[in-house]
Structure 1
């Protein structure tokens, strides 16, 4: 309360004191002081709460950024995995087509074998190992 008096002009202080006198006629002085103490406590608590909210919002932003970056990494990794499979499948079909054009059963067989190998293997077979690499602080070259 004394801080308020120090920062205000003498006219404002005089007006505040007049209001206090009016209030003190209705409410006992101790109750007025208790009221101002509670008001000061509420103001202090509001400032603390405001800081805590700002801290929580900052943490939220950090977590959202982390989730976004992790999503981008997973997206790139899976794009790369499936691009490799796409290339392998295309190569197998090239071999099969070449074998068909040349009438080479051995070449067709090799192409079919390569194709079945790519199609039958799961890109998620080593997902646990991939997850450990992504979650760890290791550099992954894509």
Structure 2
């Protein structure tokens, strides 16, 4: 087997006007067989590499889809809670406005601002820890 970083090398036998010697024919046959073996080996190695890449791709796509599903569930749950909270806050704000209660209006507006400042992911902490959790097949997600 030849070194793959170097081009194949060999001696090209030039046709002569006379019949080549049996040894020259045997040498040419060996060169042909060696070149064919090398081609088959390279083809098999490259097919194996492509299969590994395809398997890696399939694994990573599955991981992405799993993470996407978990993140979608998290966002659906979190934003449903936030929606209920903000709906209640705005209902209280409307009631405070109708009642003319400036103290309650101030407190409700502060609450709305606090909700608006918080990100759903900020409560989860370090995103690196989230990645570790996503990589852990034993991780239990509770929503």
TM-score normalised over the length of structure 2: 0.63
Counterparts in 2 of 1:140 and 1:101: CA distance versus 1, 3 Å: same
The 2-side partners of 1:129 and 1:80 are apart by 20
Number of residues paired by the alignment?
119
Is 1:37 equivalent to 2:30 in the alignment? no
- Structure 2 spans left out of the alignment, 5+ residues: 1-19
Alignment of 1:22-101 (within 5 A): 28-101=25-98
Residues 39, 135 of structure 1: alpha-carbon distance in 2 compared, 3 angstrom cutoff: same
Distance of 1:84 and 1:134 partners within structure 2:
24
Instruction: Name the structure 2 match of 1:114.
Output: 111
Q: Counterpart of 2:142?
A: 141
TM-aligned CA deviation for residue 106 of structure 1 = 5.0
Displacement after TM superposition at 1:37 (Å)? 2.3
| Cα distance, 1:85 vs structure 2 | 2.2
Q: For residues 91 and 131 of structure 1, do their structure 2 counterparts lie closer, same or farther at Cα, with a shift above 3 Å needed?
A: farther
Deviates more, 1:95-104 or 1:60-69: 95-104
1:133 to 1:43, Cα distance in 2 relative to 1, 3 A: closer
2-structure distance, mates of 1:24, 1:33: 14
Query: In terms of mean alpha carbon deviation, does 79-88 or 90-99 score higher?
Result: 79-88
Structure number with the bigger relative contact order (C-alpha 8 A, sep ≥ 6) is: 2
1:61 Cα deviation (Å)?
0.9
Q: CA RMSD for the aligned pairs?
A: 2.9
Q: CA deviation at 1:119?
A: 2.5
